Amino acid sequence: MEQRQYTKLGETLYTETLENGLTIYVIPKPEYAKKYAFFATSYGGADRRFQLDGKWQDTPAGIAHFLEHKLFDTETGNALSDLAANGAQPNAFTSSELTAYHFECTEGFAENLKTLIEFVSIPYFTKESVAKEQGIIGQEIDMVEDMPEYVLYFDFLKSIYAHHPVRDSVAGTVESIAQITDQTLYDLHRAFYRPSNMVLCVVGDVDPEFVVNLARELLPREYHAPPVKDYGEKDTEPVVRAKVEKQMAVAKPLFMAGARVEPGLRGKAYQKQSLTGHLASAYLAGKSAPLYVRLYGDGLISSDFSSGFMSGHSYAFFLISGESADPDRVLEELKAEIAKTLEQGIEETRFERLKRATSGTLIRGFDNVENLCHAQTESHFHGAMALDQLDVLQEVTSADVLAFIKENLTPERFAISVINPL
Protein backbone atom coordinates (compact mmCIF):
# COMPACT_ATOMS: atom_id res chain seq x y z
CA MET A 1 0.00 0.00 0.00
CA GLU A 2 1.40 3.37 -1.03
CA GLN A 3 1.74 6.18 1.53
CA ARG A 4 1.85 9.91 0.85
CA GLN A 5 2.86 12.26 3.62
CA TYR A 6 1.47 15.79 3.74
CA THR A 7 3.50 17.22 6.60
CA LYS A 8 2.12 20.76 6.31
CA LEU A 9 -1.38 19.40 6.81
CA GLY A 10 -0.44 16.64 9.23
CA GLU A 11 -2.14 14.05 7.00
CA THR A 12 -1.13 10.66 5.62
CA LEU A 13 -2.88 9.33 2.54
CA TYR A 14 -2.88 5.56 1.97
CA THR A 15 -3.76 4.35 -1.51
CA GLU A 16 -4.14 0.96 -3.15
CA THR A 17 -5.44 -0.12 -6.55
CA LEU A 18 -6.95 -3.60 -6.55
CA GLU A 19 -6.57 -6.16 -9.32
CA ASN A 20 -10.06 -5.27 -10.55
CA GLY A 21 -9.09 -1.61 -10.99
CA LEU A 22 -10.79 -0.15 -7.91
CA THR A 23 -8.75 2.65 -6.33
CA ILE A 24 -8.99 2.92 -2.54
CA TYR A 25 -7.98 5.95 -0.50
CA VAL A 26 -7.79 5.94 3.30
CA ILE A 27 -6.91 8.99 5.40
CA PRO A 28 -6.62 7.95 9.07
CA LYS A 29 -7.66 10.50 11.69
CA PRO A 30 -6.96 8.79 15.04
CA GLU A 31 -8.47 11.57 17.15
CA TYR A 32 -11.82 11.55 15.30
CA ALA A 33 -14.86 9.71 16.64
CA LYS A 34 -16.67 10.03 13.30
CA LYS A 35 -15.84 7.63 10.45
CA TYR A 36 -16.87 8.42 6.91
CA ALA A 37 -16.98 6.24 3.77
CA PHE A 38 -17.57 7.46 0.22
CA PHE A 39 -18.09 4.97 -2.65
CA ALA A 40 -18.39 6.68 -6.04
CA THR A 41 -18.46 5.97 -9.75
CA SER A 42 -17.35 8.20 -12.59
CA TYR A 43 -20.87 8.32 -13.96
CA GLY A 44 -23.19 11.30 -13.81
CA GLY A 45 -26.08 13.03 -15.48
CA ALA A 46 -23.99 14.19 -18.46
CA ASP A 47 -22.72 10.66 -19.28
CA ARG A 48 -25.53 9.68 -21.62
CA ARG A 49 -23.61 8.37 -24.60
CA PHE A 50 -20.88 5.75 -24.20
CA GLN A 51 -19.14 2.84 -25.88
CA LEU A 52 -19.19 -0.62 -24.34
CA ASP A 53 -17.99 -3.85 -25.94
CA GLY A 54 -17.34 -1.96 -29.17
CA LYS A 55 -20.88 -0.57 -29.47
CA TRP A 56 -22.08 3.00 -28.93
CA GLN A 57 -25.14 3.38 -26.74
CA ASP A 58 -27.43 6.35 -26.10
CA THR A 59 -29.43 6.60 -22.88
CA PRO A 60 -32.22 8.94 -21.71
CA ALA A 61 -31.63 12.01 -19.58
CA GLY A 62 -31.96 11.33 -15.85
CA ILE A 63 -30.99 7.66 -15.90
CA ALA A 64 -27.84 8.04 -13.73
CA HIS A 65 -29.92 9.77 -11.04
CA PHE A 66 -32.67 7.16 -11.40
CA LEU A 67 -30.14 4.35 -10.97
CA GLU A 68 -28.81 6.02 -7.82
CA HIS A 69 -32.29 5.95 -6.30
CA LYS A 70 -32.97 2.32 -7.21
CA LEU A 71 -29.59 0.95 -6.15
CA PHE A 72 -30.61 1.13 -2.48
CA ASP A 73 -33.12 -1.66 -3.16
CA THR A 74 -31.84 -5.09 -2.14
CA GLU A 75 -33.33 -8.54 -2.45
CA THR A 76 -34.07 -8.55 1.29
CA GLY A 77 -35.14 -4.92 1.78
CA ASN A 78 -33.49 -1.55 1.58
CA ALA A 79 -29.86 -0.59 2.26
CA LEU A 80 -30.82 2.82 3.65
CA SER A 81 -32.83 1.12 6.39
CA ASP A 82 -30.06 -1.40 7.07
CA LEU A 83 -27.43 1.30 7.47
CA ALA A 84 -29.64 3.49 9.65
CA ALA A 85 -30.50 0.50 11.87
CA ASN A 86 -26.78 -0.04 12.43
CA GLY A 87 -26.16 3.54 13.59
CA ALA A 88 -25.06 5.06 10.27
CA GLN A 89 -26.31 8.20 8.55
CA PRO A 90 -26.39 7.24 4.85
CA ASN A 91 -27.09 9.27 1.74
CA ALA A 92 -26.28 9.54 -1.97
CA PHE A 93 -26.19 12.08 -4.77
CA THR A 94 -25.74 12.35 -8.51
CA SER A 95 -23.97 15.28 -10.15
CA SER A 96 -23.20 15.90 -13.82
CA GLU A 97 -20.15 13.64 -13.69
CA LEU A 98 -20.29 11.33 -10.68
CA THR A 99 -22.65 9.33 -8.48
CA ALA A 100 -21.70 8.76 -4.85
CA TYR A 101 -23.03 6.71 -1.95
CA HIS A 102 -21.80 7.55 1.53
CA PHE A 103 -22.37 7.18 5.25
CA GLU A 104 -20.96 8.45 8.51
CA CYS A 105 -20.99 6.67 11.85
CA THR A 106 -19.22 6.45 15.19
CA GLU A 107 -19.90 2.73 15.80
CA GLY A 108 -20.52 -0.32 13.62
CA PHE A 109 -18.15 0.91 10.90
CA ALA A 110 -17.06 -2.54 9.66
CA GLU A 111 -20.63 -3.78 9.15
CA ASN A 112 -21.70 -0.49 7.57
CA LEU A 113 -18.79 -0.51 5.12
CA LYS A 114 -19.67 -4.09 4.16
CA THR A 115 -23.29 -3.04 3.52
CA LEU A 116 -22.16 -0.05 1.43
CA ILE A 117 -19.85 -2.09 -0.80
CA GLU A 118 -22.40 -4.87 -1.27
CA PHE A 119 -25.50 -2.87 -2.17
CA VAL A 120 -23.61 -0.58 -4.56
CA SER A 121 -21.98 -3.51 -6.36
CA ILE A 122 -24.92 -5.97 -6.36
CA PRO A 123 -27.96 -4.46 -8.14
CA TYR A 124 -31.53 -5.65 -7.64
CA PHE A 125 -34.29 -4.19 -9.82
CA THR A 126 -37.82 -5.29 -10.69
CA LYS A 127 -40.29 -3.97 -13.25
CA GLU A 128 -42.70 -3.08 -10.47
CA SER A 129 -40.18 -1.10 -8.43
CA VAL A 130 -38.97 0.77 -11.53
CA ALA A 131 -42.54 1.76 -12.43
CA LYS A 132 -43.15 2.96 -8.87
CA GLU A 133 -39.95 5.02 -8.88
CA GLN A 134 -40.91 6.64 -12.19
CA GLY A 135 -43.95 8.08 -10.45
CA ILE A 136 -41.94 9.27 -7.43
CA ILE A 137 -39.15 10.91 -9.44
CA GLY A 138 -41.71 12.32 -11.88
CA GLN A 139 -43.30 14.21 -8.98
CA GLU A 140 -39.86 15.49 -7.90
CA ILE A 141 -39.18 16.73 -11.43
CA ASP A 142 -42.51 18.57 -11.52
CA MET A 143 -41.66 20.26 -8.22
CA VAL A 144 -38.15 21.41 -9.16
CA GLU A 145 -39.35 22.72 -12.52
CA ASP A 146 -41.45 25.19 -10.52
CA MET A 147 -38.36 26.43 -8.62
CA PRO A 148 -37.02 29.72 -10.04
CA GLU A 149 -33.39 28.92 -9.13
CA TYR A 150 -33.59 25.62 -11.01
CA VAL A 151 -35.04 27.25 -14.13
CA LEU A 152 -32.50 30.07 -13.94
CA TYR A 153 -29.52 27.70 -13.77
CA PHE A 154 -30.48 25.45 -16.66
CA ASP A 155 -31.56 28.39 -18.83
CA PHE A 156 -28.08 29.81 -18.25
CA LEU A 157 -26.41 26.51 -19.21
CA LYS A 158 -28.56 26.28 -22.35
CA SER A 159 -27.36 29.79 -23.21
CA ILE A 160 -23.67 28.81 -23.20
CA TYR A 161 -23.95 25.17 -24.37
CA ALA A 162 -25.77 24.18 -27.55
CA HIS A 163 -24.86 20.49 -27.43
CA HIS A 164 -23.15 19.38 -24.22
CA PRO A 165 -25.52 17.28 -22.04
CA VAL A 166 -24.53 19.28 -18.92
CA ARG A 167 -27.21 21.70 -20.18
CA ASP A 168 -29.89 19.15 -19.22
CA SER A 169 -31.15 18.45 -15.71
CA VAL A 170 -29.47 15.56 -13.88
CA ALA A 171 -32.97 14.35 -12.95
CA GLY A 172 -34.11 14.29 -16.59
CA THR A 173 -37.71 14.90 -17.61
CA VAL A 174 -40.92 12.97 -16.99
CA GLU A 175 -40.77 11.87 -20.65
CA SER A 176 -37.11 10.77 -20.54
CA ILE A 177 -37.37 8.67 -17.37
CA ALA A 178 -40.48 6.95 -18.78
CA GLN A 179 -38.08 5.16 -21.17
CA ILE A 180 -36.18 3.46 -18.32
CA THR A 181 -36.68 -0.27 -17.70
CA ASP A 182 -35.19 -2.69 -15.20
CA GLN A 183 -33.01 -4.14 -17.98
CA THR A 184 -31.71 -0.66 -18.86
CA LEU A 185 -30.64 -0.20 -15.24
CA TYR A 186 -28.87 -3.57 -15.18
CA ASP A 187 -27.03 -2.67 -18.41
CA LEU A 188 -25.96 0.73 -17.08
CA HIS A 189 -24.81 -0.77 -13.79
CA ARG A 190 -22.71 -3.31 -15.66
CA ALA A 191 -21.15 -0.52 -17.72
CA PHE A 192 -20.41 2.14 -15.12
CA TYR A 193 -20.32 0.38 -11.75
CA ARG A 194 -17.35 -1.80 -12.60
CA PRO A 195 -14.54 -1.34 -10.04
CA SER A 196 -12.13 0.19 -12.58
CA ASN A 197 -14.55 3.11 -12.92
CA MET A 198 -14.94 3.63 -9.17
CA VAL A 199 -13.25 4.97 -6.04
CA LEU A 200 -13.66 4.03 -2.38
CA CYS A 201 -12.50 6.73 0.03
CA VAL A 202 -12.54 6.39 3.84
CA VAL A 203 -11.60 9.00 6.44
CA GLY A 204 -11.51 8.53 10.22
CA ASP A 205 -10.02 6.36 12.94
CA VAL A 206 -9.75 3.29 10.68
CA ASP A 207 -7.14 0.73 9.66
CA PRO A 208 -6.23 1.13 5.94
CA GLU A 209 -5.39 -2.57 5.60
CA PHE A 210 -8.83 -3.54 6.89
CA VAL A 211 -10.58 -1.34 4.31
CA VAL A 212 -8.48 -2.74 1.44
CA ASN A 213 -8.91 -6.37 2.54
CA LEU A 214 -12.69 -6.02 2.93
CA ALA A 215 -13.06 -4.50 -0.55
CA ARG A 216 -10.86 -7.22 -2.03
CA GLU A 217 -12.95 -9.90 -0.31
CA LEU A 218 -16.36 -8.54 -1.38
CA LEU A 219 -15.75 -7.39 -4.96
CA PRO A 220 -15.05 -9.47 -8.09
CA ARG A 221 -11.37 -9.78 -8.96
CA GLU A 222 -11.62 -9.56 -12.77
CA TYR A 223 -10.59 -6.30 -14.44
CA HIS A 224 -12.92 -4.74 -17.01
CA ALA A 225 -11.99 -1.45 -18.65
CA PRO A 226 -14.23 1.58 -18.03
CA PRO A 227 -16.61 2.60 -20.82
CA VAL A 228 -15.58 5.28 -23.32
CA LYS A 229 -17.74 8.43 -23.00
CA ASP A 230 -18.87 10.88 -25.66
CA TYR A 231 -20.36 14.32 -25.00
CA GLY A 232 -21.52 15.03 -28.53
CA GLU A 233 -20.69 17.82 -30.92
CA LYS A 234 -18.23 20.41 -29.62
CA ASP A 235 -19.64 23.84 -28.87
CA THR A 236 -17.80 26.37 -31.01
CA GLU A 237 -19.87 29.57 -30.86
CA PRO A 238 -19.20 31.83 -27.83
CA VAL A 239 -22.86 31.71 -26.78
CA VAL A 240 -26.08 30.09 -27.96
CA ARG A 241 -28.09 33.16 -26.98
CA ALA A 242 -26.92 36.27 -25.16
CA LYS A 243 -30.02 36.62 -23.00
CA VAL A 244 -33.03 34.58 -21.98
CA GLU A 245 -35.87 35.86 -19.79
CA LYS A 246 -38.82 34.18 -18.11
CA GLN A 247 -41.49 35.21 -15.64
CA MET A 248 -42.14 33.33 -12.40
CA ALA A 249 -43.40 33.99 -8.88
CA VAL A 250 -40.40 35.93 -7.52
CA ALA A 251 -40.30 39.17 -5.52
CA LYS A 252 -37.40 40.71 -7.48
CA PRO A 253 -35.60 39.70 -10.69
CA LEU A 254 -33.12 36.84 -10.31
CA PHE A 255 -30.18 36.53 -12.67
CA MET A 256 -27.27 34.28 -13.56
CA ALA A 257 -24.59 35.40 -16.00
CA GLY A 258 -21.28 34.02 -17.09
CA ALA A 259 -19.02 32.66 -19.79
CA ARG A 260 -17.98 29.23 -21.03
CA VAL A 261 -14.33 28.25 -20.45
CA GLU A 262 -12.31 25.65 -22.37
CA PRO A 263 -12.18 22.43 -20.26
CA GLY A 264 -10.40 19.12 -20.60
CA LEU A 265 -7.30 19.51 -18.42
CA ARG A 266 -6.12 16.73 -16.10
CA GLY A 267 -3.88 16.33 -13.09
CA LYS A 268 -2.28 19.39 -11.56
CA ALA A 269 -3.14 21.39 -14.71
CA TYR A 270 -6.82 20.79 -13.93
CA GLN A 271 -6.29 21.89 -10.32
CA LYS A 272 -4.40 24.99 -11.40
CA GLN A 273 -7.15 26.02 -13.82
CA SER A 274 -9.78 25.46 -11.14
CA LEU A 275 -7.90 27.51 -8.55
CA THR A 276 -7.09 30.22 -11.10
CA GLY A 277 -10.76 30.46 -12.08
CA HIS A 278 -11.74 30.67 -8.42
CA LEU A 279 -9.22 33.45 -7.76
CA ALA A 280 -10.35 35.32 -10.87
CA SER A 281 -13.98 35.22 -9.74
CA ALA A 282 -13.05 36.34 -6.22
CA TYR A 283 -10.82 39.14 -7.51
CA LEU A 284 -13.46 40.48 -9.91
CA ALA A 285 -16.68 39.95 -8.00
CA GLY A 286 -16.05 38.37 -4.60
CA LYS A 287 -17.49 39.96 -1.48
CA SER A 288 -14.24 41.82 -0.77
CA ALA A 289 -13.97 43.13 -4.35
CA PRO A 290 -14.55 46.83 -5.13
CA LEU A 291 -17.22 45.82 -7.68
CA TYR A 292 -19.27 44.01 -5.03
CA VAL A 293 -18.93 46.89 -2.56
CA ARG A 294 -20.00 49.40 -5.21
CA LEU A 295 -22.98 47.39 -6.50
CA TYR A 296 -24.15 46.58 -2.98
CA GLY A 297 -23.82 50.20 -1.91
CA ASP A 298 -25.88 51.31 -4.92
CA GLY A 299 -28.59 48.78 -4.08
CA LEU A 300 -28.06 46.89 -7.34
CA ILE A 301 -27.36 43.58 -5.61
CA SER A 302 -28.20 42.00 -2.26
CA SER A 303 -26.11 39.89 0.11
CA ASP A 304 -27.04 36.69 -1.77
CA PHE A 305 -24.89 37.77 -4.74
CA SER A 306 -22.20 35.20 -5.52
CA SER A 307 -19.49 34.50 -8.06
CA GLY A 308 -17.60 31.34 -8.89
CA PHE A 309 -15.96 28.95 -11.32
CA MET A 310 -17.24 25.44 -12.03
CA SER A 311 -15.46 22.74 -14.04
CA GLY A 312 -15.66 19.06 -14.88
CA HIS A 313 -14.19 16.56 -17.36
CA SER A 314 -15.68 18.29 -20.38
CA TYR A 315 -17.22 21.55 -19.25
CA ALA A 316 -16.19 24.70 -17.38
CA PHE A 317 -17.72 28.11 -16.82
CA PHE A 318 -17.37 31.34 -14.84
CA LEU A 319 -20.58 32.76 -13.36
CA ILE A 320 -22.18 35.38 -11.15
CA SER A 321 -25.70 35.20 -9.75
CA GLY A 322 -28.06 36.94 -7.40
CA GLU A 323 -31.05 39.22 -7.09
CA SER A 324 -31.20 42.65 -8.75
CA ALA A 325 -33.69 45.23 -9.96
CA ASP A 326 -31.41 45.76 -12.99
CA PRO A 327 -29.55 42.53 -13.96
CA ASP A 328 -28.36 43.98 -17.28
CA ARG A 329 -26.57 46.81 -15.50
CA VAL A 330 -24.89 44.37 -13.12
CA LEU A 331 -23.50 42.44 -16.09
CA GLU A 332 -22.34 45.66 -17.78
CA GLU A 333 -20.61 46.73 -14.56
CA LEU A 334 -18.84 43.36 -14.44
CA LYS A 335 -17.67 43.75 -18.04
CA ALA A 336 -16.39 47.24 -17.21
CA GLU A 337 -14.52 45.84 -14.18
CA ILE A 338 -12.93 43.19 -16.40
CA ALA A 339 -11.82 45.84 -18.91
CA LYS A 340 -10.39 47.96 -16.08
CA THR A 341 -8.50 44.95 -14.64
CA LEU A 342 -7.02 44.11 -18.05
CA GLU A 343 -5.89 47.71 -18.45
CA GLN A 344 -4.49 48.26 -14.95
CA GLY A 345 -3.37 44.72 -14.09
CA ILE A 346 -3.81 42.74 -10.89
CA GLU A 347 -3.19 44.50 -7.58
CA GLU A 348 -0.62 42.24 -5.93
CA THR A 349 -1.54 43.01 -2.31
CA ARG A 350 -5.19 42.14 -2.84
CA PHE A 351 -4.27 39.08 -4.90
CA GLU A 352 -2.01 37.69 -2.16
CA ARG A 353 -4.74 38.30 0.42
CA LEU A 354 -7.16 36.28 -1.72
CA LYS A 355 -4.62 33.46 -2.00
CA ARG A 356 -4.26 33.33 1.77
CA ALA A 357 -8.03 33.27 2.19
CA THR A 358 -8.30 30.46 -0.37
CA SER A 359 -5.58 28.54 1.45
CA GLY A 360 -7.54 28.84 4.69
CA THR A 361 -10.71 27.63 2.98
CA LEU A 362 -8.89 24.56 1.63
CA ILE A 363 -7.40 23.70 5.03
CA ARG A 364 -10.78 24.01 6.76
CA GLY A 365 -12.30 21.80 4.07
CA PHE A 366 -9.66 19.12 4.62
CA ASP A 367 -10.58 19.08 8.31
CA ASN A 368 -14.13 18.02 7.39
CA VAL A 369 -14.25 14.27 6.72
CA GLU A 370 -17.11 14.54 4.22
CA ASN A 371 -15.50 17.37 2.25
CA LEU A 372 -12.17 15.56 2.24
CA CYS A 373 -13.64 12.33 0.85
CA HIS A 374 -15.62 14.18 -1.78
CA ALA A 375 -12.62 16.30 -2.82
CA GLN A 376 -10.27 13.31 -3.05
CA THR A 377 -12.73 11.30 -5.13
CA GLU A 378 -13.43 14.18 -7.50
CA SER A 379 -9.70 14.85 -7.80
CA HIS A 380 -8.99 11.19 -8.58
CA PHE A 381 -11.41 11.24 -11.50
CA HIS A 382 -9.43 14.22 -12.84
CA GLY A 383 -6.06 12.53 -12.36
CA ALA A 384 -5.07 14.52 -9.29
CA MET A 385 -4.77 14.38 -5.49
CA ALA A 386 -6.94 16.74 -3.42
CA LEU A 387 -4.28 17.36 -0.78
CA ASP A 388 -1.91 18.66 -3.49
CA GLN A 389 -4.12 21.71 -3.97
CA LEU A 390 -2.29 23.78 -1.35
CA ASP A 391 1.00 23.40 -3.23
CA VAL A 392 -0.68 24.02 -6.59
CA LEU A 393 -2.29 27.18 -5.18
CA GLN A 394 1.15 28.60 -4.38
CA GLU A 395 2.10 28.19 -8.05
CA VAL A 396 -0.79 30.39 -9.25
CA THR A 397 0.43 33.90 -10.01
CA SER A 398 -1.34 37.18 -10.68
CA ALA A 399 -0.17 36.80 -14.30
CA ASP A 400 -2.05 33.46 -14.48
CA VAL A 401 -5.24 35.12 -13.25
CA LEU A 402 -4.87 38.01 -15.68
CA ALA A 403 -4.30 35.58 -18.56
CA PHE A 404 -7.39 33.59 -17.52
CA ILE A 405 -9.51 36.76 -17.54
CA LYS A 406 -8.10 37.95 -20.87
CA GLU A 407 -8.60 34.61 -22.61
CA ASN A 408 -11.99 33.58 -21.23
CA LEU A 409 -13.94 36.60 -20.05
CA THR A 410 -14.27 38.63 -23.23
CA PRO A 411 -17.57 40.57 -23.67
CA GLU A 412 -18.93 38.43 -26.52
CA ARG A 413 -18.61 35.24 -24.43
CA PHE A 414 -21.10 36.34 -21.76
CA ALA A 415 -24.72 35.22 -21.55
CA ILE A 416 -27.37 36.09 -18.98
CA SER A 417 -30.47 34.31 -17.73
CA VAL A 418 -33.14 36.33 -15.92
CA ILE A 419 -36.29 35.39 -14.02
CA ASN A 420 -38.62 38.40 -13.75
CA PRO A 421 -41.57 38.75 -11.39
CA LEU A 422 -44.98 37.92 -12.85
Just list the catalytic residues: 68
How many Å apart are CA 249 and CA 299, to the nearest integer?
A: 21
Cβ atoms < 10 Å from Cβ of 236:
7
Distance from C-alpha of 377 to C-alpha of 199, rounded to nearest angstrom: 6
Q: How many CA atoms lie within 13 A of 402 on its CB side?
A: 14
Collapsing DSSP states into helix, strand and coil, what is residue 5? Answer: strand
Long-range contacts of 395-399 (CB under 8 A, 24+ apart): 395/272, 396/272, 396/275, 396/276, 396/279, 396/355, 398/345, 398/346, 398/348, 398/351, 399/346
Closest CA to 19 of 227, 222, 190: 222
- By DSSP bridging, strand 243-248 and strand 414-421 are parallel
**Angle between helix 398-408 and helix 267-285 axes, rounded to 10 deg:** 80
- Long-range CB pairs of 189-192 (<8 Å, 24+ gap) are 189/67, 189/71, 189/123, 191/50, 191/52, 191/57, 191/227, 192/41, 192/42, 192/43, 192/47, 192/50, 192/64, 192/226, 192/227
For 79, other C-beta atoms within 10 Å of its C-beta total 23
* Helical ranges in 193-326 per DSSP H: 208-218, 267-285, 290-297
Give the distance, in angstroms, between the CA of residue 328 and the centroid of all CA atoms in the same chain: 29
Among 293, 284, 231, 294, residue whose Cα is nearest residue 258: 284
Distance (Å, rounded) from C-alpha 275 to C-alpha 311?
10
SS3 for 106-134, per residue?
A: CCCHHHHHHHHHHHHHCCCCCHHHHHHHH
User: Cα separation of 80 and 119, whole Å?
Assistant: 10
Contact between residue 406 and residue 338 where contact means Cβ atoms under 8 Å apart: no
**3-state class (DSSP) for residue 309:** strand
Bridge partners of residue 255, in order along the sequence: 322, 418
225 and 283 Cβ atoms separated by less than 8 Å: no
